[in-house]
Structure 1
Amino acid sequence: MTSTQDALTTTAERPRGSDFARLTKELKTAGLLDRRRGYYALRMAINGVLLGAIAVTFVLLGDSWWQVLLAVALAVASTQLAFIGHDAGHRQIFRSHRNNDLVGHLHGSLTGISYQWWVAKHNRHHANPNHEGQDPDIEIHALAFSRAQAHGKRGVYGWITKHQAFLFFPLLLAEAAVLRISGLVALFRRELRNPWREAALQIVPLAAYLVAVFLVLSPLKAVVFIAVHQGLMGVYLGCSFAPNHKGMPIIAEGQRLDHLHKQVLTSRNVTGGRWVDALLGGLNHQIEHHLYPHMPRPNLRHAQPVVENFCARQGIPYSKTTMVRSYSQVLRHLHDAGAPLRGTARSD
């Protein structure tokens, strides 16, 4: 099979768009681009019941250290809600933009992540995954995803980057808080449309959350509950997104690829069956998701063998691995990217 580097070198010579059009026709004929509203109705109902059960249990338990376990459950539920918000942002649920946005804003307010801010950021990522200077997901102050990026890190950020492979999972504890704060910063900088609506969607649920926690729990237990909930939600979110692109080829500024190669060569799938689909919100089928962001989540697993087979016929490297190996690849890549700051970079 063609190596990734060869594919990056030769893709500019291929007829742009022709391969992708043929693949799209195959998937459309199989009905895999059709909406799955029944699936999403059931998924949202399950999430609603779970969230309601957590709220009732929270009140019944009262001021108890058992609430720490409930914070863990809430972290899982919050991340599952975020997955629905993600799908709404990609127009996977309804054909109507308005209906998708309604679902997205609701789930964003429940998770504390500004839907409007996140969609704008995430669309930039989808347009140019792993492209230096264009993908916001690889432009992170405290992390480097290439040796060239590592050279620009200084001070505290430099120290973190130097040890980033060891600090990666601990850093994810702050991910949920960072996403929440980023949305609030965008709001106060007036970067969002309908600022009063955005303020209501972000600040009112946050205030209600804090009031409920401190009203039911003692101050110490409340702080621990919030730390466990937000920390584990951040780890869960980070572990869902990290295997998708980290450790895959970085596209240099100015390098141009057609849509099919750009999305396939920079993405990695995680294998494991339906339980992995449920755990990672379908994001384990990252190649298919990036090729067709509007494809409903339950259709991705059916599209996967079609896309893999098509890539094999076209000689396009298709990356997939187990969950454990995906994290191992991510950490090895991060360790290598930070090598210049440890003085261990190879001269070549």
Structure 2
Amino acid sequence: MSKTELSARHRNRVLSPAELDAFGQELDALRARTVATLGQRDARYIRNIVKAVRYTEVAGRGLLFLGAFVHSVLLPAWIAGVLLLGLSKILENMELGHNVIHGQYDWMGDPQLQGSTYEWDIAGTAENWRKTHNFRHHTYTNVRGLDDDIGYGLLRIFPEQKWRPFYLLQAPIAVVFALLFEWGVAIQDVKIGRLFAGKMSFKQFRAKFRPVGRKISRQLIKDYLVFPLLAGPFFLPVLLGNVVANVIRNVWTFTIIFCGHFTANAETFPKEVIKNESRGHWYMRQLRGSSNIGGGKVIDVLSGNLSHQIEHHFYPDIPANRYAEMAVDVRDICARYGQHYNTGSLPRQCWQVTWRILRHSLPSRAPRALPLMRAQAAAASLISSDLRS
């Protein structure tokens, strides 16, 4: 662990039980104030995103076809088509699909924007994502053994993860994982490792994989058969364009998710911290397991506002277009309670994630525990617990 990490963690003041309760109450109050003002501008925002997804897809596929038909003259049209199609997929995946599936727009009553029924343009099913992400990850954020997103079962990101020789290969594995990220998401809840370990029968595996297989088949047919076939003799250029657009989306999604969770100052926690966890403790764990990305409005929209990962982990069902304004108050609250607010530019956060992947591919020992947060025993609800870095 670097001196930068240690110094940042030492800046976190240990709060008394009363302060921790007050910290949680202030953040709850911010949520209540925001919910009370949800309305037309939020509905207009997400509907504009829906239009942007559709228009960029139509324009992208149109230019892709045009470039394929007359590639000797309009190669730039093919390139522009790939980029626009990639943009459409990014917007649909990040700002539309991810946020709608969280139920951020259920209050609108629009059947096309209901979190429980929305299906997105990605190999993984929305139903599995609701389990692995909405429930497991957001409930047990960065809790070792409960949050499967810590390294996604492939990468050793934190020194607290047990080292194995397999991790020597994790740098090239991380590159492949980024290129194929949607496929990793697709099979995350299938638990294929349990099959290989003999902890799951093939019959059980087949039952879990069946809905995923159907979704994968639809995606493969749509992007890699139907649209390329429409190009007739120019099947291959259109096929290649779809492949590249999906890769662009995959790499971008991987980058945003990893930079939001695995930077130098992000922490993981042992299972015991969630026992009798108070609201204030839950907020504190979300804060210390998340990282924001600076960059302005463009980065906000392209990341689905996950550039405000802290605010998203505090308020996953609040429309994400509100996170930027909420961040001003969240940062002020954190400062008043002496808590580090982890944020940095995209290149800075990417470098920190890259460093983690490279450093922890080699044997490394977990740091000595720091008593950053303690729950004092109270008559009705709290027990003593440490959040260890």
**Residue in structure 2 matched with residue 231 of structure 1 by the alignment:** 247
Answering whether residue 317 of structure 2 is matched by residue 294 of structure 1, we say yes
Any idea what the Cα deviations from partners look like across 1:3-40, whole Å, max 9, x if unmatched? Answer: 535759x4584566542222221343355762511111
Residues 184 and 202 of structure 1 are in contact (CA less than 8 Å); yes or no, is this contact kept in structure 2? no
Distance 1:333 1:177 in 2: 23
Distance 1:70 1:240 in 2: 23
> What pairs with 1:130-279 in structure 2 (closer than 5 Å)?
130-151=142-163, 153-154=164-165, 157-161=166-170, 164=171, 168-182=174-188, 189-191=206-208, 203-215=217-229, 216=231, 218=234, 220-221=236-237, 224-247=240-263, 248-256=266-274, 258-279=281-302
**Residue in structure 2 matched with residue 4 of structure 1 by the alignment:** 9
Any idea what the Cα deviations from partners look like across 1:119-177, whole Å, max 9, x if unmatched? Answer: 111021111221110111115333102234251x34xx33323xx2x763453111123
Question: Deviation at 1:219?
Answer: 5.9
**Residue in structure 2 matched with residue 52 of structure 1 by the alignment:** 58
SS in structure 1 of the partner of residue 106 of structure 2? coil
- The alignment's TM-score, normalised by the length of structure 1, stands at 0.81
Distance 1:24 1:89 in 2: 22
Residues 101 and 114 of structure 2 are in contact (CA less than 8 Å); yes or no, is this contact kept in structure 1? no
Q: Is 142-151 or 43-52 further displaced after alignment?
A: 142-151
Distance 2:313 2:149 in 1: 14
Structure 1 pair 212/185, CA: closer, same or farther in 2 (3 Å)? farther
Distance 1:287 1:73 in 2: 29
SS in structure 2 of the partner of residue 251 of structure 1? coil
Q: How many residues align?
A: 333
SS in structure 1 of the partner of residue 161 of structure 2? helix
**Residue in structure 2 matched with residue 38 of structure 1 by the alignment:** 44
Letter in 2 for 1:23: L
Q: Is 299-308 or 98-107 further displaced after alignment?
A: 98-107
Q: Which runs of 5+ in 2 are unaligned?
A: 1-6, 193-203, 369-389
Q: Percent identity?
A: 18
Say which of 123, 132, 142 aligns to 1:121: 132
Q: Which runs of 5+ in 1 are unaligned?
A: none
Q: Is 301-310 or 53-62 further displaced after alignment?
A: 53-62
Structure 1 pair 104/209, CA: closer, same or farther in 2 (3 Å)? farther
Structure 1 pair 102/261, CA: closer, same or farther in 2 (3 Å)? closer
Any idea what the Cα deviations from partners look like across 1:59-103, whole Å, max 9, x if unmatched? Answer: 444456544552333222112101211111111122278837657
Question: Deviation at 1:270?
Answer: 1.1
Question: Deviation at 1:264?
Answer: 0.7
SS in structure 1 of the partner of residue 149 of structure 2? helix
Distance 1:190 1:252 in 2: 32
Say which of 66, 70, 74 aligns to 2:85: 74
Structure 1 pair 347/202, CA: closer, same or farther in 2 (3 Å)? closer
Distance 2:168 2:306 in 1: 31
Structure 1 pair 93/347, CA: closer, same or farther in 2 (3 Å)? closer
Letter in 2 for 1:252: P
Question: Deviation at 1:242?
Answer: 1.2
Structure 1 pair 339/345, CA: closer, same or farther in 2 (3 Å)? farther
Q: CA RMSD in A?
A: 3.4
- The alignment's TM-score, normalised by the length of structure 2, stands at 0.74
SS in structure 2 of the partner of residue 140 of structure 1? helix
Say which of 111, 118, 121 aligns to 1:99: 111
Residues 54 and 88 of structure 2 are in contact (CA less than 8 Å); yes or no, is this contact kept in structure 1? no
Residues 58 and 70 of structure 1 are in contact (CA less than 8 Å); yes or no, is this contact kept in structure 2? yes
Residues 175 and 234 of structure 1 are in contact (CA less than 8 Å); yes or no, is this contact kept in structure 2? yes
Distance 1:113 1:97 in 2: 25
Letter in 1 for 2:220: L
Q: Is 47-56 or 314-323 further displaced after alignment?
A: 47-56
Say which of 19, 23, 34 aligns to 2:23: 19
SS in structure 2 of the partner of residue 111 of structure 1? coil
Structure 1 pair 141/185, CA: closer, same or farther in 2 (3 Å)? closer
Structure 1 pair 228/59, CA: closer, same or farther in 2 (3 Å)? closer
Between structure 1 and structure 2, the one with the greater Rg is 2
Distance 1:30 1:117 in 2: 29
Residues 150 and 338 of structure 1 are in contact (CA less than 8 Å); yes or no, is this contact kept in structure 2? no
Distance 2:63 2:11 in 1: 56
SS in structure 2 of the partner of residue 71 of structure 1? helix
